[in-house]
Amino acid sequence: MARIRLNKDELRNRIYGCWLGKSIGGTLGTPFEGRTEINNVTFYSQPTHGEPLPNDDLDLQLVWLNAVRENGPRGINNRVLGEYWLNYIPPHWNEYGICKANMRAGLLPPLSGEYHNHWKHSNGAWIRSEIWACLAPGCPDIAITYAYEDASVDHGGGEGTYAALFTAAVESAAFVVHDRDELIRIGLSKIPGECRVARAVNIAIEAYESGKSWQEARQLVVEDSADLGWFQAPANVAFVIIGWLYGEGDFGRSICTAVNCGDDTDCTGATLGAILGIILGKQGIPKEWIEPIGDRIVTIAIDRGSIRVPSTLQELTDQVVEQVPLVLGTLGAPVELTDGPSDLSCLDTTRLRDSSIARKIWSRSPYAISYDFTHTVVTLDYNREPDVKEGEPFQVRVTLENKLPDCRHAELVWHLPDGWIVSPGPVNHVTLWNYAASSTTLDVDITPQGLRGGTYRGFLEVHAQGRPTVGSIPLVFFG
């Protein structure tokens, strides 16, 4: 397969441009965060004293970078990121607090982001997707795979997760594609066409193409998203698109228009700034936007006393660039770095718009947890929120997928609170046929007994005859 070649220095320039644009847009938008009216911003509205305003949009990505450095490209999943949430991210704002409360109660991601979470359609995930794009430049399917693992921790299967897939794809593709409209098409190819994020983005595009003003486009988006309420992903992603469309390639005009749409303004300005920063590189960002804020990173949402994170955008860029060849090489990406000139001659944008991997991602149940036991992947799907009632069967579905080319006999042993009934069970025998990716599914009814309220825990033990690895999947129910 022909491979895209990216010049290392050019890549570094674009990655730095991403973080610089992020910092600029966040600083521009932060003073107006939460306002629902149209703003009239043309430049920084308050003295910056040579440094940016703090922004959680960037902060959390410093933690994710640490997770990648410590666990390797294949060691990142939503459970790993969930543990980093609990250790290094103190705020309890909205979905941040809900996901952490759910994890502390015993729920694993994506359940942690789905269970009783009325903020799952909000903005916490798509605003922190740049790290995955920068680690996988020109590889939107790799970027969205990481973005899902990230977003599902605090957004489950909500619109907030779809929004993260959209922005991660756009940002990753922007390293090799600079056409605005094509980048938006790539982003839309990675989310369900009927989801609210796609609907809001398309409303913005249709308004622009029909000659409406940006204010009119904004109003159409606001009206469409009114039922979701304030601070939600569909409208705010559409505000990014409005800024991008109506900015007509001008960096300052673009981010100001996004911020002037109101709502989650630090996020819209920062995300559009990052996208434009990738496209333009550091040298393409006007100096008047750079000089007032400098290179420093100022944090607000992470515990810097227990984790070492970069203190400057340059240091952040260096650490990301160091990881890029590891990610690309480990995951077999069709992109490689070179000291020579970039070569995009084999670039096929239709491949970047392929939705096959994205469909597998967005079709996952937000109530399912998966464990890779080397020889077998076992997925346990609660099918719904894990609230149980005395004497009422609760059905779970267990799917086993063969990872190796041999026939395998597996034994499932259910360990549940005393008196609880498992049917069929408490031991199930399953056969996997002798080819990779063969799978089998088993539906099991769990009937609680003796409930007195509170939390009930158990686990599913998975044995495979002739294999030393024994798997254990935790179970949590609420009475």
Q: What is the pLDDT of residues 18-62, one digit of tens each?
A: 999 999 999 999 999 999 999 999 999 987 889 999 999 999 999
Angstrom distance (rounded) from CA 431 to CA 413: 15
Mark which of 361, 381, 396 sits at the end of a domain: 361
Q: Are residues 86 and 210 in the same domain?
A: yes
Residue carrying the six token digits 């809900």:
98
Q: What is the pLDDT at residue 309?
A: 95
Angstrom distance (rounded) from CA 345 to CA 348: 9
Token digits of residue 429: 């025998």
Token digits of residue 401: 């997928």
467 in Cβ contact with 419 (< 8 Å): no
Q: What is the mean pLDDT of each run of 10 residues along the chain (479 residues)?
A: 92 98 98 95 90 95 98 98 97 96 98 98 98 98 98 98 98 98 98 98 98 98 96 98 97 98 98 98 97 96 94 98 98 97 96 98 97 95 97 97 91 96 94 81 97 94 94 97
Q: Are residues 132 and 182 in the same domain?
A: yes
Q: How far is CA 385 from CA 102, 223, 474, in A?
A: 12, 31, 15
Q: What is the pLDDT at residue 331?
A: 97
Helix axes 313-330, 56-71, angle to 10 degrees: 40
Q: What is the pLDDT at residue 47?
A: 79
Residue carrying the six token digits 């392929």:
354
Angstrom distance (rounded) from CA 359 to CA 140: 13
Q: Are residues 356 and 395 in the same domain?
A: no
Q: Are residues 336 and 376 in the same domain?
A: no
For the CA atoms of the chain, what is the radius of gyration?
23
Angstrom distance (rounded) from CA 470 to CA 21: 47
Q: Are residues 393 and 336 in the same domain?
A: no
Q: Are residues 36 and 117 in the same domain?
A: yes
Q: Are residues 383 and 323 in the same domain?
A: no
**CATH number for the domain including 466?**
2.60.40.10
Residues 6+ apart with CB under 8 A from 205: 184, 241, 245
| Cis amide linkage into residue 109, ω under 30° from 0 | no
Question: DSSP string covering 222-276, please?
Answer: HHHTTTT-SSBHHHHHHHHHHHHHHHTT-HHHHHHHHHHT-SSHHHHHHHHHHHH
Angstrom distance (rounded) from CA 167 to CA 164: 5
Q: How many domains does the chain have?
A: 2
Q: What is the pLDDT at residue 453?
A: 84
Q: Are residues 313 and 401 in the same domain?
A: no
Query: What sign does the CA torsion over 10, 16, 22, 25 have?
Result: negative
Three-state DSSP class for 458?
strand
CA triplet 397, 165, 175: central angle to 5 degrees?
145
Token digits of residue 60: 């959390």
Token digits of residue 444: 């099991």
**CATH number for the domain including 333?**
1.10.4080.10
Mark which of 361, 388, 406 sits at the end of a domain: 361
* Neighbour-count burial of 459, counting CB atoms closer than 10 A to its CB (0-12 exposed, 13-18 middle, 19+ buried): middle
Q: Are residues 76 and 142 in the same domain?
A: yes
Angstrom distance (rounded) from CA 162 to CA 155: 9
Q: Are residues 115 and 177 in the same domain?
A: yes
Q: Are residues 466 and 338 in the same domain?
A: no
Q: What is the pLDDT at residue 81?
A: 98
Q: What is the pLDDT at residue 436?
A: 64
Q: Residue 254: give the domain boundaries.
A: 4-361
Q: What is the pLDDT at residue 340?
A: 97
62 in Cβ contact with 323 (< 8 Å): no
Question: Other C-beta atoms within 10 Å of 49: how many?
Answer: 9
Q: What dihedral angle (degrees, nearest 10) is formed by the CA atoms of 436, 437, 438, 441?
A: 140
Q: Model's pTM, two decimal places?
A: 0.97
Mark which of 346, 361, 376 sits at the end of a domain: 361
Residues 6+ apart with CB under 8 A from 189: 169, 352, 353, 354, 355, 358
Q: What is the 3-state secondary structure (H, E, C) of 334-379?
A: CEEEECCCCECCCCCHHHHCCCHHHHHHHCCCCCEEEEECCCEEEE
Q: Are residues 356 and 409 in the same domain?
A: no
Question: DSSP string covering 372-436, please?
Answer: E-SSEEEEEE-SS--B--TT--EEEEEEEEE-SSS-EEEEEEEE-STT-EEES-SEEEEEE-SST
Q: What is the pLDDT at residue 1?
A: 61
Which of 346, 341, 353 shows the shortest CA–CA distance to 2?
Answer: 346
